[in-house]
Amino acid sequence: MQTKVSMQAEIAGISFDNLLLNAAGIRCSTVQDLNSILTSEAGGVVTKSATVEERAGNESPRMRALPLGSINSMGLPNHGFDYYMAYVLKAQSAGYNNVILSVAGLSPADDLLMLREIQQSGFDGLVELNLSCPNVKGKPQVGYDFAAVEQLLGEIFKFFDKRLGLKLPPYFDLTQFDEMAAIINQYPVTYVNSINSIGNGLVIDPVTETAVIKPKGGFGGLGGEYAKPTALANVRGFRQRLKPEIQMIGTGGIKSGMDVFEHVLCGADLVQIGTAFGSEGTPIFDRISQELQDIMIEKGYRRLADFRGKLKTL
């Protein structure tokens, strides 16, 4: 008889039967996409990051699957804030509290506008503020401007008292981890989600001597296996520096149960799957759950808490 293991996870009192979710951006733009994740083995669903107004995003081709992952410059195509707000409210009234509303303003003013609407709404679930989209032309990733993040968080927490997570870009120097964690630790942030794609990579087809995607002269965010070591370092680096009550979501390079296991070892409470979910669709949640359970059984772990954050170093 197989030993039973639990995939149960929790963020700020919201319980998830499974720690696996989609990453904002992949197959989560429409009500149909969102419902198919919600009714799959995934523990919950994250909406496509909403901008105030509907956006068509960048020109095609804007995403390319690669041997070790993907490059994309989607440019936040989405149906606009009202669409996703209506979705999460409907899901909430149907009893789903495992729906995360992701928002990505094109300016701090847009972020504040959407967060004010959320504050005034009946939505009581998790909100994820995306400070890290690398693909909007002419708009730098806010997460790399520490002073801007500090100012924005100061403004937000003057009025926002719901549960807010931050989706961050990858950082590469330990002083960046120190500085960003010191800023975030001043505020009642619920969780940090690391990482968004590794921004502004360039992939070339050497036969045609051409960049493989069209927007921004071929520059785009890298996901998949290319991103995993950077993602693990960011989850670990923030877990070591953030106040214990600020939880972590790990995103980046997950395509197997072992990848999830490693993210949890680094301190992830939940994980989100982007590139591999894009190519495999909702069956990935069942496959990876099975793989993770097999690993846990083999290692004698029954709950995620048995190994969460317990990475050893040499």
Active site residue 266: no
Does residue 289 belong to the site contacting ligand SIN (CB under 6 A)?
no
- For residue 127, the minimal CB distance to ligand SIN (Å) is 15
* Structure token pair of residue 310: 């317990």
For the bound state, the minimum distance from the C-beta of residue 203 to ligand SIN, rounded and expressed in Å, comes to: 16
Q: Which two tokens stand for residue 17?
A: 């039967």
Q: Which is nearer to ligand SIN, 74 or 296 (CB)?
A: 74
For ligand SIN, give the closer residue by CB, 28 or 246.
28
Q: Which residues have a Cβ under 8 Å from the Cβ of 271 and sit 6 or more positions away?
A: 19, 20, 21, 249, 250, 251, 254, 260, 263, 264
CA distance 236 to 262: 10
Residue 62 vs 236, nearer CB to ligand SIN: 62
Which one of 133, 192, 254, 265 is the catalytic residue? 133
On the CB side of 198, how many CA atoms lie within 13 Å of its CA? 22
* Residues that contact ligand SIN, how many (by CB under 6 A): 11
Nearest in space to 213 (alpha carbons), one of 65, 26, 62: 62
Q: Give the contact letters, 197-236, x = binds to ligand SIN (CB under 6 A), - = no.
A: x-----------------------x---------------
Q: What angle do CA 74, 77, 81 make, to 5 degrees?
A: 145
Output 165 or 221, the one with its CB closest to ligand SIN: 221
CA atoms of 238 and 266, how far apart (whole Å): 9
Q: Which is nearer to ligand SIN, 4 or 137 (CB)?
A: 137
Q: Which stretch binds ligand SIN (CB under 6 A): 93-101, 129-137, 174-182, 251-259?
A: 129-137
Chain centroid to Cα 209, Å, comes to 33
Query: Which residue do the tokens 């790399």 mark?
Result: 144
Closest by CA to 84, choosing from 134, 146, 148, 33, is: 33
Site string for ligand SIN, 132-151 (x = CB under 6 A): -x-x----------------
Q: What is the dihedral sign for C-alpha 262, 197, 185, 114? A: negative
Please report, as residue ranges, which positions from 16 to 75 form the binding site for ligand SIN (by CB under 6 A): 25, 49, 74-75
Instruction: Name which position in 22, 196, 230, 272 contacts ligand SIN (CB under 6 A).
Output: 196
Chain residues that interact with ligand SIN, rule: CB under 6 A: 25, 49, 74-76, 130, 133, 135, 196-197, 221
Active site residues: 133
